[in-house]
Amino acid sequence: MGKEVPREQIIDLFEKARNAQAMCELMLDMDSTGKRIPSQDRPGLISMALATGKGWATELRNQYPAGDIESVAQEMGVKVEISDQPNQVGTMLIRAEYYAQPPRVIVFRQSVKVLQDLMERVGLTDLLAPELIIPIHVVHEIFHHVENLKKDSLAKRYFVTTFRLGPLRLKSGVRVLTEMGAYAFAQRWLNLDWYPFVIDQIDRLMAEDAISPVEKWNELMRKRGLGRILPRFFSDKDQAGKERRDR
């Protein structure tokens, strides 16, 4: 899948991922619905999503203090399946999916192996151990099961207007809030130093036609008047991304 990713870019992404709040800002800017949220509402919604994910992980850990996530899933009635079928949408690989009826999490082995091989190739298994990748994804998907059990979707805690015509207004929940909560849930459950959205950013670096997540980050920083991030590493890459967008 895709091109080789420079080691320095991966290190930089993991460093940025220590700031969950900033990563969530990036998630909103990259999401077609999330970017409609007014700037004054963003900090509160991000804090809500992060706190909910961490709080639910703590609740579940208190309920199952000694179990790994696979055994906890079994206790909850969620079947974890490992599939050898490829699962790719465009240039992006899907590593896991949750289905509510019947409750199950499917992990796609081939997609997992792409990330495992990358971390081993660049010598950064100290940042993301290959054996941790499947548990991260299973925990993430278990969050969606907890949402179903609680009948409390974070996506429906806030609505934005997606279309208006005169007095007509169409509103939509914000799905990315659910994903923010799921990443926070996984981070707390596994005691990670970094926010797991970083894995999605690595995927974007690997995707041949994707805009660099570093470019996305730099755009976010420019909007906030903070300048570029590590231009000595990424100026050439960012320019290439700009040329792709202009075509």
pLDDT at 6 over 70: yes
**Amino acid sitting at position 155:** A
Tally of residues, the chain: 247
User: Residue 48: what pLDDT?
Assistant: 98
Of the pLDDT bands very low, low, confident and very high (cuts 50, 70, 90), residue 205 is confident
| Other C-beta atoms lying within 10 Å of the C-beta of residue 7 | 12
Nearest to 212 by CA among 193, 196, 179, 235: 235
Q: Is the pTM of this model over 0.85?
A: no
Contact 201, 13 (CB under 8 A): yes
Stretch 122-129: mean pLDDT: 95
Residue 206 or residue 179, greater confidence: 179
pLDDT, tens only, 44-81: 999 999 999 999 999 999 999 978 999 999 999 999 99
pLDDT, tens only, 168-203: 889 999 999 999 999 999 999 999 999 999 999 998
Rounded percentage of the chain residues whose pLDDT exceeds 70: 82
pLDDT at 233 over 60: no
